[in-house]
Amino acid sequence: MFSKVLIANRGEIALRVIRACKELGVATVAVHSTADSDAMHVRMADESVCIGPPSSTDSYLNVAAIIAACEITGAEAVHPGYGFLSENAAFVQVLEDHGITFIGPSAEHIRMMGDKITAKETMINLGVPCVPGSPGGVPTLKEAHLISDEMGFPVIVKATAGGGGRGMKLALTKNDLDEAFGSARSESKAAFGNDEVYIEKYLQKPRHIEVQIFGDGKGRAVHLGERDCSLQRRHQKVFEEAPGPTITKELREKIGSTCAEAVADIGYSGAGTIEFLYEDGEFFFIEMNTRLQVEHPVTETIFRVDLVKEQLRVASGEEMTFKQEELEIRGHSIEVRINAEKLPNFTPCPGKITTFHAPGGLGVRMDSALYAGYSIPPYYDSLIGKLIVSGTSRPAALARLRRALGELIVDGVDTTTPLFHALLDEKDIQTGNYDIHWLEKWLDKNVQK
């Protein structure tokens, strides 16, 4: 095991990694921007290094500063969390060149999956079913029309470098295609510096089902079932649950083993998530995330495992402790993302927290870096906490979620908590009857002006 690990992230995920390190007896180094000097991850780590000004480009994305922080503190490995540098192959390469271990997959695998066209091609070759679409990039509008006419509308134009729901545009009919193609390209160019796009059939009522996999980097891999993350706003998840309410044991074993075999085949190392759209009993691959997901705690809860400790073990050269035959689901788990945002328009709402009370009790986990007196800076993501509950059944987990939400107190800023209170009153949420478009439609009718 490593003796010292640097966490190249902030907020709840930095705390999450620090917790795993502490339990394994690993010393921790936090990095922070000047805006985060008072952040909880800095307090909880054994050491901390300021790596730059507030803007994440100059701090949390500043590779040279992070390498320098490793060298100053003698950290042997870096855990990237999610976001920031977690899927940056060039960063992994630089770490390697400095003899520092990246806690995650190889640069080659990150590169392979980071480009969505290459990812789809790889998955098709590995026998994973994909969403029907263009065989590769679509360079011209003329080709976009040819492919879409052949496939039939609606279609979705997607950025090959895309992420976080950006660079993705829907064309319901042929008349929308010029606009969708142009804006997907320009949005992608602006966000990712790459304007390559591809086209997929737009699925009308799918669920977002993703499979958690874990590989030992030596050709062995397991799956840890699925998460249903269909409740999304602007292609971003807000409520996640495991197991998926519509996924049977047989389906889980089938798609799970397909995924585990695929990543075993390429010698994948560490945690990863293979995302699918699921419609009428069929799975269609959309992308793979080569890192820990925000919603990993629901999987940890139902399988009673610690994914971050396993990442640390495997990255340090120890054997993977997960064995497929021992991974068994117990109960049901739900996560809701608490954001500092003001309804109805989800406007970011940074500011000073005057009171904070985290819910507790049996079956409740609150992953958050908040504390009373803390000022949420305006520079970063608005996620301020993840409330994760479990129960012996889905109804029990829903009842616990309602109870736990009632205990959560965040004064000083607006949060998305009222949204979840309202959702719990909905029959479709109670019965698990929702697809990826459900929340947008519900928000249009009930919340957004």
195 binds ligand ADP (CB under 6 A): no
Active site residue 291: yes
* Residue with smaller CB distance to ligand ADP, 202 or 380: 202
Distance between CA 440 and CA 352 in Å, rounded?
Answer: 30
d(CA 276, CA 402): 29
CB of 201 to ligand ADP, least distance (A): 6
CA-wise closest residue to 262 among 362, 124, 167, 396: 124
Q: CB 114 → ligand ADP: shortest distance, Å?
A: 10
Interaction between residue 156 and ligand ADP (CB under 6 A): yes
Residue partners of 369: CB distance under 8 A and separation at least 6: 10, 11, 12, 14, 15, 39, 40, 41, 384, 385
Stretch of 75-83, 196-204, 315-323, 418-426 contacting ligand ADP, by CB under 6 A: 196-204
Which one of 16, 111, 166, 291 is the catalytic residue? 291
Residue 267's alpha-carbon distances to 118, 122, 214, 260, in angstroms, are 17, 13, 11, 11
**Of 57-65, 75-83, 197-205, 361-369, which part binds ligand ADP (CB under 6 A)?**
197-205
**Cα 371 from Cα 373, distance rounded (Å):** 6
Segment contacting ligand ADP by CB under 6 A, of 40-48, 56-64, 195-203, 212-220: 195-203
Please identify which residue in 14, 49, 78, 131 interacts with ligand ADP, judged by CB under 6 A. Answer: 131
Determine which residue in the list 48, 56, 59, 232 makes contact with ligand ADP, applying CB under 6 A.
232
Minimum distance from CB of 167 to ligand ADP (Å)? 7
From the CB of 145, what's the least distance to ligand ADP, in Å?
18
Q: How far is the CB of 104 from ligand ADP (least distance, A)?
A: 17
Q: Alpha-carbon distance 254 to 285, whole Å?
A: 14
> Is 344 one of the binding residues for ligand ADP (CB under 6 A)?
no
Nearest to ligand ADP of 5, 180 (CB atom) = 180
Q: Of the listed pieces 1-9, 51-59, 84-92, 156-164, which binds ligand ADP according to CB under 6 A?
A: 156-164
- Per CB under 6 A, which of residues 276..295 are in contact with ligand ADP? 277, 286-287
Question: Quick check: 164 binds ligand ADP (CB under 6 A)?
Answer: yes
Q: Which residues are catalytic?
A: 291
Residues lying near ligand ADP in the complex (CB under 6 A) are found at: 131, 156, 162-165, 168, 200-203, 208, 232, 235, 275, 277, 286-287, 436
